[in-house]
Structure 1
């Protein structure tokens, strides 16, 4: 059942999720509550290989003279690589019994 009235979407550019509070969807509202930069939401449901490849492509595009941004991109690649390695193992706690 949908709510009556016009459908209002999130005020963040390129976000088509329904707005909940303050004109933001739940994902962007949560980012603002964490005092993070409100921008692109996390990509849920993407496979570990795709996440790793996107992290590598982002690392290539980062300016190496900006050390903080480069370190953050490198950490993202390391975490994505670790998740990719462990994703196919039955001991991975994120699998939740899937096989």
Structure 2
């Protein structure tokens, strides 16, 4: 599995509408915290966990998707329509939150 970039409204809508899996959407920018978050996302997707889909979007202040989810800064991760996490700190924290919110069993 890899992080799927959705930097325009059309690709965002298509990726979210065409999946039955839970979606983790992460807004990133060019700041240091987003750089660390990108590394966490890479580690998460390297695990090839197909139970959920991971999307990334370049944060655009005032962007359509950002407004829809009231995202005001990056990095911000959304577990769509379920939870919001601002400023994640580690791979374990993100995995734990995803498993908890989506009630997923650890992969075998």
TM-score range, shorter chain: under 0.3
Larger Rg over CA atoms: 1
Higher relative contact order (CA 8 A, sep 6+): 2
Answer 1 or 2: which has greater helix percent.
1
Q: Normalized against structure 1, the TM-score is what?
A: 0.26
Answer 1 or 2: which has greater strand percent.
2
Q: Normalized against structure 2, the TM-score is what?
A: 0.25
